[in-house]
Chains A and B, each alone.
Chain A
């Protein structure tokens, strides 16, 4: 894999105004994505994974920060958060999303055919219907939908097939970068495997770059090259997937990993049980977000938020005590 920086996220923030104050859904997040890799994004519900994913492709306008996407033909970058509507429409062909819930992300009044045709029609890709028909057949074939289903409606199909429609829609415009927002969490386990394998095959074939959002560590481990762990709107740890499972540095990551069930009877391991609840993301204090639940927290942690720093090459962590805690 080449190491070129394909997407650079700088100080991305997304705040929502609520009655009780500003909700920091994504708070000062910076990272890079390499061309052709899969970046796993894990964290518990409500930590801002999906919001971050939507900000990356500007389905949500971010409060501040930059999302730089490398141009196709030169080495310059375009800032997705700042382009105007017409430029964004052109960019939509390059960045796409697959949604979490295949039951609500498809318009119930459109047939499979119309659903897959929509991106092609909206962007005027084809001006003759024969080419478009060919392309739709090809897409259905790519994602493994039988041709006979083309006039069916979403409610007549099972979750896996619906998710395939969602995938076909996002592939229709030949994107380079796809945000997969928990694409399998609404599906049952054997269909999860099918969809994950499909996504994997597609990536190999078309060289897509993925951001894979999930709360399921085993799934993320299976698909990701690198993994970013999010806690309350911030990335607390980011590294290679093997490294993350072998030597997690952040206490939150350690607690997460210790919660993965093991299918071994006699292995005993220390289970790190987190006390308390996730603090409110509304107007959080300037301190380490995890300090209140962290068993290693010191005064420094409560006095100011740690930055995401490169601890060892390629291993980023946002914790003052990362070095000390290493075993």
Chain B
């Protein structure tokens, strides 16, 4: 049999755009692993009250610094609080901070970057100079300044972390829009009468997704860490509320004697980030029809 002629004659099956992406995503085991972990975390965050064995904030001074055992699977911290329960409740905060902060950065930065790359000229110049000013301030410092001005709370924390990441996204989106904008198919779209909005949404954004997806998955990770940093200096999540970053820094002083206090929050952050990266890579490939088979 000549195998070269066979695939040519087979008509491609028609699927919806979303189903097509899901189908391609399901071909990548790493991406599915990532997706599974993210779904598990979301499940934990949603049903924290039901699945966590203990209260995350109730102190139990008789059982301080316990190493993992049958009662406390991941041990207890310096106030005898169950680490597993705190991790489960912490997932709620950390996921929220990670996704919403990146969402804010992505929407604001993405829009600014797309406008600035597409229209160029004075608009581009003025937007990007403002971004340069923001970039010249260290990201954490900027976040501290914003959250200090707004007052410490979960919402303000997300806004601060989000805004401090805006310039990065604006730059990335602008760069890829610039490279796509000069392609001939943009001109072809214009020649059939497509509006600017349609060209940006339908032609430019889908073709400039790859670097943005990679940056956002990494961005969720750094947003979680950033938020943890802010919580550590007292500007983020207020104790005794559980948050992974805060648990990590809280356990730091006991790391010699009770490493499990830092180990498990650290592992939680690591797996979340790892899962996001796998999912991000898989999504990037699934969204690109060229990389299919």
Contact = CB atoms under 8 A, between A and B. Distances in A.
A150 to B, nearest CB: 8
Contacts of B288: 109
A153 interface: yes
A174 interface: no
A232 interface: no
A214 B190 CA distance: 22
B193 A122 contact: yes
A151 B11 CA distance: 8
A33 interface: no
B188 interface: yes
Interface string A66-90: 0000000000000000000000010
Contacts of B120: none
A134 interface: no
Nearest to A166: B188
Contact of B194 (A106, A109, A118, A150): A118
Interface in A84-105: 89, 92-93, 96-97, 99-101, 104-105
A106 B10 CA distance: 23
A220 interface: no
A109 B192 contact: no
A173 interface: yes
Contacts of B191: 57, 59, 92, 96-97, 170
A269 interface: no
Interface stretch (B33-41, B103-111, B179-187, B268-276): B179-187
A57 to B, nearest CB: 7
B185 A107 contact: yes
Given A97-B188, A105-B184, 13 more contacts: A93-B193, A96-B192, A100-B184, A107-B207, A118-B194, A119-B193, A122-B193, A122-B194, A122-B198, A147-B11, A148-B10, A150-B11, A153-B290
A104 B289 contact: no
A93 B191 CA distance: 9
A108 interface: yes
Interface string B9-28: 11111100000000000000
B174 to A, nearest CB: 20
Contacts of B207: 107-109
A101 B183 CA distance: 11
B121 to A, nearest CB: 12
21 contacts: A54-B187, A59-B190, A92-B192, A96-B191, A97-B188, A97-B191, A99-B184, A105-B184, A105-B188, A106-B185, A107-B188, A107-B203, A107-B206, A109-B288, A111-B289, A122-B193, A122-B198, A148-B11, A152-B12, A169-B188, A170-B192
Given A148-B9, A153-B290, A99 B187 contact: yes
B187 A89 contact: no
B189 interface: yes
A45 interface: no
B194 to A, nearest CB: 5
Chain A interface extent, by class? 20 to 34
Interface in A115-172: 118-119, 122-123, 147-148, 150-153, 155, 166, 169-170, 172
In the A-B complex, the 3 residue pairs with the closest CB atoms: A119-B192, A151-B12, A148-B11
Nearest to B287: A109
Interface of A: 54, 57, 59, 89, 92-93, 96-97, 99-101, 104-109, 111, 118-119, 122-123, 147-148, 150-153, 155, 166, 169-170, 172-173
Nearest to B187: A59
A123 B192 CA distance: 8
B16 to A, nearest CB: 12
Nearest to B193: A92
Contacts of A54: 187
A106 B203 CA distance: 10
B187 to A, nearest CB: 6
Contacts of B14: 150-151
A148 B6 CA distance: 13
A67 to B, nearest CB: 15
Interface in B181-226: 183-185, 187-195, 198, 202-203, 206-207
A148 B183 CA distance: 28
Given A92-B193, A96-B191, A109-B207, A155 B185 contact: no
Given A59-B191, A99-B184, A109 B11 contact: no
B209 to A, nearest CB: 9
B8 to A, nearest CB: 9
Given A107-B207, A151-B14, A155-B289, A101 B193 contact: no
A312 to B, nearest CB: 37
Contact of B13 (A104, A122, A151): A151
